Amino acid sequence: MLIRNRKINPTMVEIVIGIVLYGILGILLLTVLYLLEVPLEEFFNGTIADIFIGFIVGIIYSIVVIIHMAKTVETALEMGQHGALKHTRISYLIRIGLLLVLFVVMLFVEVGNVFSMLFGLLSLKLSAYAQPITHKVKEKLKKGR
């Protein structure tokens, strides 16, 4: 597949798959815990709707971040050393700035739960660590076709 004459980074796709799987498992776990009447509201200090919203926002932000990181690296590789360093730093500041804006909006608008959002953000880290496993499974599925 091509996007603007560029190939899609297969590692990024594998990490996105991991993030989505983490999100599905997290939502299922939150649902089961809620149905078992585990006091999630007390643990996260918010309503169950806010907990789900925060978690989903964290998952969506993780997907946006990995796509932006892949694009940043791809663009930086086409630049010179000085330009690449500057571009990478600016892109990092954009991602951090967006995260801070999300936190502030969630706190002041009181939509979602910041703590459950952090659990959603963990999906990026865990998916990056699990990427070699995702890659092996993806390759086995590809050979099975």
Mean pLDDT by 10 residues, the chain (145 residues): 61 91 94 89 86 94 93 85 87 93 90 90 91 86 78
Residue 70 neighbours by CB under 8 Å, 6+ apart: 9, 11, 12
Longest Cα separation, the chain:
56
Residue 34 neighbours by CB under 8 Å, 6+ apart: 40, 48
- So where are the chain's domains? 2-129
**Residue 133, Cβ neighbours under 10 Å: how many?**
11
Taking the model in full, what pTM does it have?
0.86
What is the predicted pLDDT for the residue at 138?
85
What is the predicted pLDDT for the residue at 87?
87
C-beta separation of 18 from 123 below 8 A = yes
What is the predicted pLDDT for the residue at 99?
92
For residues 55 and 35, give the distance between their C-alpha atoms in angstroms, rounded to a whole number: 17
What is the predicted pLDDT for the residue at 25?
95
